[in-house]
Amino acid sequence: MYPVTRAALCGALSLLPFAPPCIAAQGDGDAVILSEISVSGDGSGPRPATIPFGVAAPPGSAPSVIEHPVGQIVSSVGRDSTVTDRPATNIGSVLLNSPGVTVRQGNGARDVIISIRGNNARSTGITKNTVVLEDGFILTQPDGASRFDLVDPRAYGRIDVFRGPQSALFGNYATGGALAFRTRTGREIAGYEIGTDAGSFGYLSNYFTVGGVSGPVEISLFASDARANGYQDHSSYDTQTVNLLASYTPTPDHRFTLKVINNQVQADLPARSSLNQFRINPYQRGCAAAATAAPGCTLTNLFVNGAFGPTVGLTGDQAAFGRNDRRTIAALRWEHDIDAQTTWRTQLGFDERNFNQPFYTTSSRGSYPSWNFLTDLTQRYDLFGMPAVGYVALAYNTIDNHITTYNRAPYGGPTLGALIGNQVAVQSNLGGRARTEVALSEQWTGVVGISAENTRITGRNDAYAYSAAGRTTTVADANRSFLNVAPELALVYRPSIEWTLRGRVATGYTTPAASNLFVTAAGLPGNNTALQTQENLGFDLGADWTPVENLRLSVTGFYEFFRNELVSQSPGAGLQSYTFNAPASEHRGIEVGADWAFAPGWRAVAAYTFDDQIYTRYVEQLSAGAFSSRFDRAGKAIPGVPANQLLARIGYDQLTGPLAGLGGYVETVFQDGFYLDNANQLKAPGYAIVNANLHYATDLPGGYAKRLTLYAEVRNVFDTTYAVSAQNLANSLSATTGLQNGGGVLAGTTGSIYAGAPRNVVGGLKLSF
């Protein structure tokens, strides 16, 4: 229930064999609003060119968007009120416009952790349980990791949020859903744009976009440089992104698409605080050195000799915590129309994640090159006289991991200590997918799909421990194979043009990554190779209601049953998070999206999610000293997941007269508090912040420039102090009494909290030529 271009609407309709012809207009301004799309029709009319499922047709051919397969639970977020008229500093602020999405601050710069239906809300490092695509190319690496450093929101025309298990369509790792980014095409840009944003805490971002069409060639290129001092001590960053989308259409039935992305990020990282420290010194100010540290500063203990023995507590500034990462993606797709009803596509992509991360007690360095291959066939046909669309695909991807882990040593910048881990692993996924959509009648559409995939992980981790006696080595070998099958059924009913009713039963699966297999419950390199595949069986039931053109309401209820859910948490300050299987859990909730243009120029938008997640079968064993106890966590809330969250916005744009183009809006972002531990003894506090925006856009007739856009935004108007990210914490026993430690101990455990930004102002301008 969100804005997209008319070209996107035409593309969505063209998925259907019974859709009428549609002509796409050009430009950002020609926008319409789509609700969550579940489509049926009357079965009449000519059949347009085939568009593959869940992937992008190239810009030079049919509508160049990532389209909605019928029956999916999808919300589309466009540029209006998210990018076009505001400073979009990271993709998290954009995706909050979709129901079901939770956002956490990651580790520096634009790094955010995206969770759909709470399925990745426990992570603070990388995004898991979600498949990410851009223009039809997979951006999730074969180990299931996605990062959003490389994503600058201003490059995109639309983002589709697929909610609920999606493995039948996208394969491994889609237990929570999928995100499909659609870059603005050369045809949409039709010229070039330059822009600058600047604001509080030294924020400065410069960017440009250029795009156009010449004969059979269409190109769009986006580049940006963003940097800031940061609102916490030791949190400055600078990051550069280049994003290219190009297509070549030598003949009407042959199309080639090239995608290239490169991102470089350098970021200083503050230490994550305890809840107690957050309450005293949320922004970690006055923490340049331990000897002069202000109250509430977080200190991280590093071995004095970098290997073993005595430790010294240092601030993040003293220890020079940071990241220096690069991500490079290059991919090519060939698409061929075999006939008017059949399209064959083949694509190959290379993706390398190179990282150097000397933060907290360890430093990780590595390179993760990967390859991703997909070939698929889409055909429109008649099934017993009923219009149908069939899809089959074969997918293979592989990643070669090599990562070394060192202790950190104190002083002298990001100094490395002793080597404590050396990991080499190869992970590959090979599978097939099939899907059919059938127009059962004028009102009913049915969908059936299935995927089957084999995942293979082979690798070795050498873990090193040090003492006065010397070094000891522990070797963990992994040779695991996982076979997973994911069916899907969906039914869509449209009794009238105002109503769409939909039901869906679908499954998802996420295998452990190689890196999960080699981090122990102590947060150190070692053997964790017994992890199992996470499986999800989900039920969705929902309705979309459009009683009048300017009011759209969508409601979806979901109930999901997880087996062997992969849960990550921190065992203590500065240690690596480890992963375990919770044997059984349940996720249930409601998602609501609303869009109401209630008067000329006025518009109200809301995205609400209720998400209740509990363990139904999980016994946790804790040990300390001579004591060991087991605790039944059944009925406990799964940590990291807020039960309620809401984005609500009301705005006004002057449509006519001398002030035409002037507008503004006020929005609130609300999130419940959530538990940080399996025993539900400690909660991260909830929050509600308010943002206010003023913007102006005008055409510039007769000049070299075509359009001017100005905007300014006050974020966190009431200067609320809130936690924007919180790492789950492990429960523990008292080594003295053998009893489980209470919430007071957890509240004093560092390595958990990042504070959100205090009141800040960001403004910018954009010129279109």
Question: How far is CA 647 from each of CA 87, 304, 379, 691, 694, rounded to the nearest angstrom?
Answer: 17, 47, 40, 11, 18
Q: Would you state the pLDDT for residue 21? A: 34
Say how far residue 386 (Cα) sits from the centre of its chain.
38
Residue 65 has pLDDT above 60, yes or no: no
Fill in the amino acid letter for 154: R
Closest by CA position to 104, among listed 695, 743, 674: 674
Q: How confident is residue 52, by pLDDT bands cut at 50, 70 and 90?
A: very low
Q: How confident is residue 109, by pLDDT bands cut at 50, 70 and 90?
A: confident
- Distance (Å, whole) CA 101 – CA 86: 20
The DSSP letter of residue 85 is T
Count of all residues that appear for the chain in the document: 769
Q: Would you state the pLDDT for residue 81? A: 84
- State percent of the chain over pLDDT 90: 76
Phi (first) and psi of residue 551, to 5 degrees: -135, 125
| pLDDT tens digits, one per residue of 186-199 | 999 999 999 999 99
Q: How confident is residue 364, by pLDDT bands cut at 50, 70 and 90?
A: very high
Q: Are 233 and 268 in contact (CB under 8 A)?
A: no
Q: How confident is residue 621, by pLDDT bands cut at 50, 70 and 90?
A: confident
Say how far residue 352 (Cα) sits from the centre of its chain.
18
Q: Are 489 and 448 in contact (CB under 8 A)?
A: yes
Place of tokens 């601030």: 315
Q: Are 560 and 538 in contact (CB under 8 A)?
A: yes
Name residues whose C-beta falls within 8 Å of residue 529's C-beta, 6 or more positions apart in sequence. 476, 477, 478, 480, 517, 518
Mean pLDDT of the chain, nearest integer: 88
Residue 557 has pLDDT above 90, yes or no: yes
Residue 520 has pLDDT above 90, yes or no: no
Which of 6-10, 20-24, 650-654 has the highest average model confidence (pLDDT)?
650-654
Neighbours of 656 (CB within 10 A): 8
Beta strand ranges found along 440-498 (DSSP E): 444-467, 470-493
Residue 531 has pLDDT above 80, yes or no: yes
**Structure tokens that stand for 536 in this block:** 């999800």
Which region holds residue 45: left if phi is over 0, alpha if psi is between -120 and 50, else beta?
left
Residue 66 has pLDDT above 70, yes or no: no
The DSSP letter of residue 274 is P
- Distance (Å, whole) CA 105 – CA 267: 14
Q: Are 267 and 284 in contact (CB under 8 A)?
A: no
Longest dimension (CA), the chain: 83
Of 11 and 467, the one with more pLDDT: 467
CA atoms within 13 A on the CB side of 412: 10
Residue 252 has pLDDT above 70, yes or no: yes
Q: Average pLDDT in the 493-519 region?
A: 92
Say how far residue 274 (Cα) sits from the centre of its chain.
26
Three-state SS for 317-373 is HHHCCEEEEEEEEEEEEEEEEEECCEEEEEEEEEEEEEEEEEECCEEEEEEEEEEEE
Residue 577 has pLDDT above 80, yes or no: no
Strand partners, 264: 240, 326
The DSSP letter of residue 69 is P
Q: Are 567 and 582 in contact (CB under 8 A)?
A: yes
| pLDDT tens digits, one per residue of 370-380 | 999 999 999 99
What does 371-419 look like in DSSP terms, one character per residue? EEEEEEEEEEEEETTEEEEEEEEEEEEEEEEEEEEEEE-SSSSS-EEEE
Residue 58 has pLDDT above 80, yes or no: no
- Give the β-pairing of 177-183 and 130-134: parallel
Q: Would you state the pLDDT for residue 88? A: 87
Neighbours of 624 (CB within 10 A): 17
Q: Would you state the pLDDT for residue 50? A: 34
Residue 46 has pLDDT above 50, yes or no: no
Q: How confident is residue 8, by pLDDT bands cut at 50, 70 and 90?
A: very low
Q: Are 684 and 723 in contact (CB under 8 A)?
A: yes
Give the burial class of 292: count Cβ atoms within 10 A of its Cβ; 0-12 exposed, 13-18 middle, 19 or more buried. exposed
Q: Nearest-5° angle of CA 105, CA 608, CA 167?
A: 70
Three-state SS for 120-180 is CCCCCCCECCEEEEECCEECCCCCCCECCCCCCHHHEEEEEEEECCCHHHHCCCCCCEEEE
Q: Would you state the pLDDT for residue 31? A: 33
Residue 427 has pLDDT above 90, yes or no: yes
Of 19 and 691, the one with more pLDDT: 691
Place of tokens 């592989």: 398
Name residues whose C-beta falls within 8 Å of residue 18's C-beta, 6 or more positions apart in sequence. 41, 42, 43, 44, 45, 47, 387, 439
- Distance (Å, whole) CA 685 – CA 114: 19
Q: How confident is residue 67, by pLDDT bands cut at 50, 70 and 90?
A: low
Q: Would you state the pLDDT for residue 51? A: 34
Q: How confident is residue 704, by pLDDT bands cut at 50, 70 and 90?
A: confident
- Distance (Å, whole) CA 555 – CA 75: 11
Closest by CA position to 567, among listed 505, 478, 506, 636: 636
Q: Would you state the pLDDT for residue 7? A: 39
Residue 559 has pLDDT above 60, yes or no: yes
- Distance (Å, whole) CA 132 – CA 179: 5
Q: Would you state the pLDDT for residue 201? A: 96
Q: Are 560 and 164 in contact (CB under 8 A)?
A: yes
Residue 13 has pLDDT above 70, yes or no: no
Q: Would you state the pLDDT for residue 35? A: 34
Q: Would you state the pLDDT for residue 36? A: 37
Name residues whose C-beta falls within 8 Å of residue 665's C-beta, 6 or more positions apart in sequence. 81, 649, 650, 651, 652, 692, 693
The DSSP letter of residue 200 is G
Q: Would you state the pLDDT for residue 24? A: 35
Q: Which helix (H) or strand (E) holds 709?
A: strand 707-715
